[in-house]
Chains A and B, each alone.
Chain A
């Protein structure tokens, strides 16, 4: 009996902040719990709504946590040397208990994270959530820029992880990727040399990509993510809260009993000014503990379940060991770069005696332009305050259309590159069979 009581007490100590019994406890929960201290005490109902944010940012972070945990276990089992990398991944697939599931989870979570971070960006754009509302000290454009950095880090993390199995898929994706870097004018060859630690893809390149993948980039993501979260608080919460504040009409509130100091001393009475905006009042917001916490836990569990189920259904592929002399046909970059591969294929332009390599246009200039455009956009967007935190605000119709068009183009190119390109990068419809290619030269 003693044991049961002690366990119960211990359990309550652990969970009390997640399951508060009163408003006071709820407030304490936020202040006293390290995991919760970065949440606001109260949160508006609009910010919690599923259909506003779609919780894509939360899902992205949960995926990052899953990737960190599975990645840490994988680090114990993977050897970053050209002699042993492939066989250690092969061991993961065929020898180590649950190794295959572990690797598949890591891979699926990485693919999903690229997708959710991208979708999160689309959501933020279409709701005008990178725009400042009325709250003092908010700087949402800056947070959008941090978000763009996080998107780039996510892509780089995924790309650096691609090389590590040291199989054909990895080797040729990195060959194409680093040669795109070398097509930059003047400094291109130097960048490639620095990336690879030499002129060929060998041990130097493997250890560099490994360290970038397991330490350097994750640390950058963690720092940028913390800043991203901190800025949300500084910016007055999600943009939808600004929208709610705007659509509030001031309401008369029953006079609040107060004490008034008069020349004769303290007298009873009511305050003079009792009109107030209702945004932060009971009816529009709820305590973060437990309401926000509950949803975050639910989203986390759902994300984990989806990752594990998908990992069980789609095991991670492992091709033949890397072989510099045989390029697989077709040789494709990771799917999220296939729109770029599609573009580098189509953009070699002859200009008189010069020929501009498609790699320069499609691999460097165009992505560079898109990044600059993304960074500049919030400062160009002059739409009014009524468009902040609203899906498809009419005043932003034109820019929403342009943004959606760019996204659709990227998605269309990705689909073409993924499903409709066969040997020699020729076009094939899904119902057409690819010609059989000799396996070896």
Chain B
């Protein structure tokens, strides 16, 4: 049989019934294509990991009393944790533009800005070294290419040992504060 006949249109017999040969040809061709598709799928699918051996997104960071007043930078988590008297909140250090680590930058002169409708005096900001995005102290973006404010994450108290827990899977409002 010529190879070309494999791909010619299925011919119907004179009475309009599909011939056995053309049916088997189509079946074979379909099976070939289906197995190729399956083979491609399993090759690509095996490259999508089912289990990630990555650091957990929810973790303890020690007891609240141990944190110093002001800001603490958790290097390997790329997270800023703030303690202001009895309240705690966490701001991600990952720039919302392209994910560089923003720097906590002290201002030489405190400046007054409007945050969420109220005037506040801030003495530090976050600056991104990659493309020059700038954020106010609460994470609001005001300059550069950053499209949205820095992410804020939920803080909890661990019921068993009283440590602070950061939940980086749980994004919260900028105004969120954990009071201890």
Contacts and interface: CB of A to CB of B under 8 A. Distances in A.
A344 B52 contact: no
A325 interface: yes
Interface in A336-379: 341, 344-348, 355-359
Interface string A109-140: 00000000000000000000000000000000
A179 interface: yes
B48 interface: yes
A331 B129 contact: yes
A355 B148 contact: yes
Interface in B107-140: 127-132
Interface of A: 172, 175-176, 179-180, 183, 193-194, 197-200, 202, 204, 208, 324-331, 341, 344-348, 355-359, 423-426, 441
Contacts of B104: 441
Given A194-B47, A325-B76, A355-B147, A344 B129 contact: no
A198 to B, nearest CB: 5
B173 interface: no
A364 B129 CA distance: 22
Most B CB contacts (10 A, CB to CB) among A198, A327, A330, A425 go to A327
B58 to A, nearest CB: 14
B98 A344 contact: yes
Given A197-B47, A325-B75, A346-B145, A441 B129 contact: no
Given A176-B98, A327-B130, 20 more contacts: A175-B100, A176-B130, A202-B54, A208-B47, A324-B76, A325-B73, A327-B129, A331-B130, A341-B131, A344-B131, A345-B131, A345-B132, A348-B97, A348-B144, A348-B147, A357-B97, A358-B97, A424-B129, A425-B130, A425-B144
Nearest to B134: A424
Contacts of B78: 324-325
Given A329-B129, A424-B127, A425-B132, A345 B100 contact: no
Nearest to B146: A348
A199 B130 CA distance: 20
Contact of B132 (A193, A194, A326, A426): A426
B177 interface: no
Given A327-B129, A327-B130, A198 B100 contact: no
B28 interface: no
Given A198-B52, A199-B52, A327-B130, A359 B98 contact: yes
B38 interface: no
A410 B131 CA distance: 18
A200 B145 contact: no
A358 B145 contact: yes
Contacts of A172: 100, 130
B49 interface: yes
Contact of B101 (A202, A326, A348): A326
15 contacts: A175-B98, A175-B99, A176-B130, A194-B47, A198-B52, A200-B55, A202-B54, A204-B49, A327-B100, A328-B129, A359-B97, A359-B98, A359-B145, A425-B144, A441-B75
Contacts of A423: 129
Contacts of A324: 76, 78, 101
Given A194-B48, A325-B76, A441-B104, A347 B145 contact: yes
Most B CB contacts (10 A, CB to CB) among A183, A197, A329, A346 go to A329
Nearest to A197: B49
Nearest to B95: A327
Contacts of A426: 132
B101 A327 contact: yes
Nearest to B131: A345
Nearest to A193: B48
Nearest to B74: A325
A176 B129 contact: no
B73 to A, nearest CB: 6
Q: Which 6 A-B pairs have the closest CB atoms?
A: A329-B129, A325-B75, A425-B132, A348-B145, A358-B145, A355-B147
A441 B76 CA distance: 13
A344 B145 contact: yes
Contacts of A328: 129
Contacts of B147: 348, 355-358
Interface string B2-33: 00000000000000000000000000000000
Contacts of B55: 200
A439 to B, nearest CB: 12
Contacts of B54: 198-200, 202
Interface string B31-67: 0000000000000000111001011000000000000
B125 to A, nearest CB: 11
Most A CB contacts (10 A, CB to CB) among B76, B100, B128 go to B100
Contacts of A345: 131-132, 144-145
Given A324-B78, A423-B129, A329 B49 contact: no
B73 A441 contact: yes
Nearest to A202: B54
Contacts of B52: 198-199
Contacts of A330: 129-130
Nearest to A331: B130
B10 to A, nearest CB: 32
A324 B131 CA distance: 17
Contacts of B128: 327, 424
Contact of B98 (A180, A193, A194): A180
Contacts of B100: 172, 175-176, 327, 331
A193 B50 CA distance: 12
Contact of A441 (B49, B103, B130): B103
